[in-house]
């Protein structure tokens, strides 16, 4: 079943059928209803291969997701899908490995999807600095800051990771903790990890608390196992800390497990705080204290910025959206 068949069936020409199906103007009401009805009847669907092959500009917005096993991104994707559904655009989601180059990936996808704009969920500014120049459609980098990059078509929407980490640490400090271990990502690899680590250092410095990264910082993958192993390692040096700050909720969960295996209770013996605000955290016992990224907000602002760039040729913007310090059962006064 092709539009040619539909044309024969309805008595119109393929051009008219195509226009009707795509909601173009210059189609009589009569033709439109007849064609749409016929299409409906046979469950007809345009062949996307042919469509995208021919189209100059698609009506696609491309969502490039870096990291397939990331609960925060999963939530965000759902939110973005919901929002895009209310627009005349189509969302094409592309999942990629956490350690491949998202910009190069986008570059290969562009001639195929011909997107009007691209949303990057996660990304490394280094990759952008190196390869983004070849991309000429409006883009938004979500969850990282691109304001330092010299690209006129690259916006960004993120929380202030550095300040968020700093504020989380300040909460722990204000609860009386002085010896705080930090488990995060590798600051050499991920911008976010570096910023969150810097935020921690800011807090220690401003409060005049000494912090030796060598002894109290561990760089791991954002995973349960990463948090688990890091906490084990920290504990193997003797428990000098009364609190752990984890740069992600999943890390915190792994760390809590490691503590439990040493007979340490949360929060009685050690306070633990994460980042992200995953739904899971509020079901754990104890509920996990965290820095919540407002998923809906992040999604909404990102799409708004992108659509403004696409529809109104608005210049690039670099937005900081608010986060929320969520004080819950896993932390307490020392």
Partner DNA sequence: TTGTAGGCGTTATCAT
Partner DNA sequence: ATGATAACGCCTACAA
Binding site for DNA (CB under 7 A): 2-4, 11-16, 18-19, 21-22, 25-28, 30-31, 45-47, 50-51, 53-57, 111
Nearest approach in angstroms of CB 327 to a copy of itself is 18
Phi, psi of 306 (to 5 degrees): -65, -45
Residue nearer to a copy of itself on the CB measure, 199 or 226:
226
- Specify the length of the chain in residues: 334
Residue nearer to DNA on the CB measure, 44 or 222:
44
Contacted entry of a copy of itself, DNA, none for residue 82, CB cut-off 5 to 8 Å set by kind: none
Token code pair at residue 78: 């759902």
Return the DSSP state at 38: H
Contact between 333 and a copy of itself (CB under 8 A)?
no
Which of 41, 78, 186, 269 forms a contact with a copy of itself (CB under 8 A)?
78
For tokens 């600051």, the residue is: 187
Contacted entry of DNA, a copy of itself, none for residue 279, CB cut-off 5 to 8 Å set by kind: a copy of itself
Binding span for a copy of itself by CB under 8 A among 29-37, 137-145, 182-190, 248-256: 248-256
Number of residues that bind a copy of itself (CB under 8 A): 33
Contact between 112 and a copy of itself (CB under 8 A)?
yes
> Could you report how far apart the first and last alpha carbons of the chain are, in Å?
70
Site track for a copy of itself across 16-55, x = CB under 8 A:
---------------------------x-x-xxxx-xx--
Residue 110: HSE in the Cβ half-sphere, 13 Å Cα cutoff? 17
Contacted entry of a copy of itself, DNA, none for residue 14, CB cut-off 5 to 8 Å set by kind: DNA
Nearest approach in angstroms of CB 315 to a copy of itself is 30
- Residue 216 CA to residue 179 CA, distance in Å, equals 9
Residue nearer to a copy of itself on the CB measure, 166 or 255:
255
Nearest approach in angstroms of CB 8 to DNA is 10
Helix axes 249-261, 224-236, angle to 10 degrees: 40
For 225-260, give the DSSP string: HHHHHHHHHHHHT----SEEEESSHHHHHHHHHHHH
Cis peptide bond N-terminal to 286, omega within 30 = yes
Strand 271-273 with 243-246, pairing: parallel
- Residue 290 CA to residue 272 CA, distance in Å, equals 9
Strand partners, 272: 244
Contact between 151 and a copy of itself (CB under 8 A)?
no
Residue 222 — left, alpha, or beta (φ > 0 → left; ψ -120 to 50 → alpha)?
Answer: beta
Nearest approach in angstroms of CB 134 to DNA is 16
- Residue ranges binding a copy of itself (CB under 8 A): 43, 45, 47-50, 52-53, 68-69, 74, 77-78, 93, 95, 108, 111-112, 224-225, 228, 253-254, 256-257, 260, 266, 279-280, 282-285
């Amino acid at each position: 079943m092709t539009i040619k068949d539909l044309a024969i069936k309805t008595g119109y020409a393929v051009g008219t059928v195509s226009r009707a199906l795509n909601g173009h103007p210059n189609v009589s009401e009569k033709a439109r209803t007849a064609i749409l009805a016929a299409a409906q009847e046979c469950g007809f669907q345009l062949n996307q291969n042919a469509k995208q092959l021919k189209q100059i500009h698609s009506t696609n917005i491309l969502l490039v997701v870096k990291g397939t096993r990331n609960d925060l991104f999963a939530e965000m994707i759902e939110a973005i899908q919901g929002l895009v559904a209310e627009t005349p655009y189509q969302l094409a989601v592309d999942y990629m490995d956490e350690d491949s180059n998202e910009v190069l990936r986008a570059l290969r996808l562009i001639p195929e999807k011909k997107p009007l704009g691209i949303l990057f969920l996660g990304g490394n500014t280094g990759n952008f600095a190196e390869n983004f120049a070849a991309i000429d459609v409006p883009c938004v980098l979500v969850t990282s800051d691109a304001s330092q990059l010299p690209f006129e078509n690259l916006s960004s929407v993120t929380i202030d990771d550095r300040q968020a980490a700093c504020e989380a640490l300040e909460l722990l400090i204000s609860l009386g903790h002085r010896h705080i271990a930090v488990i995060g990502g590798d600051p050499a690899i991920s911008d976010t990890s570096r910023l969150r680590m810097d935020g921690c250092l800011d807090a220690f410095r401003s409060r005049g608390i000494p912090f030796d990264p060598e002894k109290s910082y561990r760089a791991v993958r954002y995973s349960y196992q990463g948090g688990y192993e890091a906490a084990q390692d920290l504990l193997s040096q003797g428990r000098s800390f009364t609190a752990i700050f984890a740069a992600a909720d999943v890390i915190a969960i792994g760390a809590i497990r490691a503590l439990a295996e040493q007979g340490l209770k949360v929060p009685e013996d050690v306070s633990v705080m994460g980042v992200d605000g995953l739904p899971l955290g509020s079901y754990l016992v104890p509920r996990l204290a965290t820095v919540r990224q407002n998923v809906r907000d992040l999604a909404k602002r990102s799409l708004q910025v992108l659509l403004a760039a696409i529809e109104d040729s608005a210049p690039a913007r670099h937005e900081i959206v608010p986060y929320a310090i969520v004080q819950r059962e896993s932390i307490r006064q020392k």
